[in-house]
Amino acid sequence: MNLLHNIQLKNLTLNNNIFLAPLAGYTSYPTRKIYKMQGNFTCYSEMISAEGLNHSFRKSIEIIDTKAHESPVGIQLFGPNADKILSAFLKIRQFYFDIVDINCGCSIKKVLKSNSGAYLLNNPDEIYRIILRLKNETDKPVTIKMRSGYDNCRKNYLQVHEAAVKAGVDMITFHPRTRAMLFSGKADWSLIKEMKKISPVPIIGNGDIFSADDAIRMINETNCDGVMIARGIIENPFLFDEIFAKFNSKAYNSPSASDRVERLLLHCKSLADFYGENRGIREIKKFVKGYLKSLPDISIIRRRLGEVNNFTDFENILKNFLKSL
């Protein structure tokens, strides 16, 4: 079995089977731009509220920052039912994106309170209606991202899979934790294997992939069609480099201190150019820990970087840090 291969979704050919998850607060365009330096995987914008698009369009539309040159790129909508998701989709269908994904896995309280995200797992019939309505309105692939169930008493992943396939879903990304687990415990990859055995559509595995070896092991253990990276890329911003190297049976050398600082500065500059310097500096601070991981005295450097509000000071601190090494 080839680790790296294309995936066909209707008329869309994905270059490979590596995906970047839609991460609220993280996967904005300037961040995707930096990550895509590592390879042309499929990426998603931050997840988008259907309610927000229906009631606060101008504010919510800013999240749809997808560009044609980053294709293949998808958007992910979350909402409580087919009517509201379809209404939101019709408002944005003219924007550029290749895939529309429905979130059936988000477990944060704000999303659950709106009967969205993982709450939909309680109602496979509504997931069926959402997919069917979207399929009737677009030629783009319609996909879902799901968990194994709402809690241990309601692990209905096969029922959700059946409803989604019946509605015509083009691909399923499966994170085998329940809503109640959040990110605790371990993702049960055996459930991915179980779903893959019966699925007529591609199954993408997600959950606990923090290294290329994890990605390889998931594919080998579950026979899933591809892997989606989420928290792993925040902890290791070079993870796609590692995955593409090892999937192609090439040697991989961990980034040096200078590599880490250089990429961090590029990321900071990308955010500052897109959002403006002040917001860009605020946004980059949540990525610093991952970039400087394993380097000495990073707690001191992180604290100093946390106090700056312009790119010049940010850059000077990091360059002086490199000199000290």
Structural domains in the chain, sorted by start = 7-247 (3.20.20.70), 257-324 (1.10.1200)
Contact assessment for residue 19 and residue 42, using Cβ atoms and an 8 Å cutoff: yes
Which residue has better confidence, 104 or 182? 104
Rg (CA), the chain: 20
Would you say residue 56 has pLDDT above 80?
Answer: no
For the stretch 147-201, pLDDT in tens is 999 998 889 999 999 999 999 999 999 999 999 988 888 999 999 999 999 999 9
Q: What's the distance, CA 307 to chain centroid?
A: 29
Q: Is 104 a catalytic residue?
A: no
**Residue 295 CB contacts under 8 Å (≥ 6 apart), including other chains:** 257, 260, 301, 325
For the stretch 256-308, pLDDT in tens is 999 999 999 999 999 999 999 999 999 999 999 999 998 998 999 999 999 99
Dihedral (CA of 152, 153, 154, 156) sign? positive
Which pair of tokens denotes residue 321? 């840090």
Distance CA 111, CA 310 (A): 34
Count CA atoms within 13 Å of residue 107 on its CB side: 15
Plot region of 57 (φ>0 → left; ψ -120 to 50 → alpha; else → beta): alpha
The kind and range of the H/E element at 8 are strand 7-9
Q: Are strands 171-178 and 203-206 parallel, antiparallel or unpaired?
A: parallel
Report the pLDDT value the prediction gives residue 57, as an integer from 0 to 100. 67
Which pair of tokens denotes residue 203? 């199954």
Catalytic annotation, pick one of 43, 104, 106, 268 = 106
Count CA atoms within 13 Å of residue 75 on its CB side: 26
Q: What's the distance, CA 277 to chain centroid?
A: 25
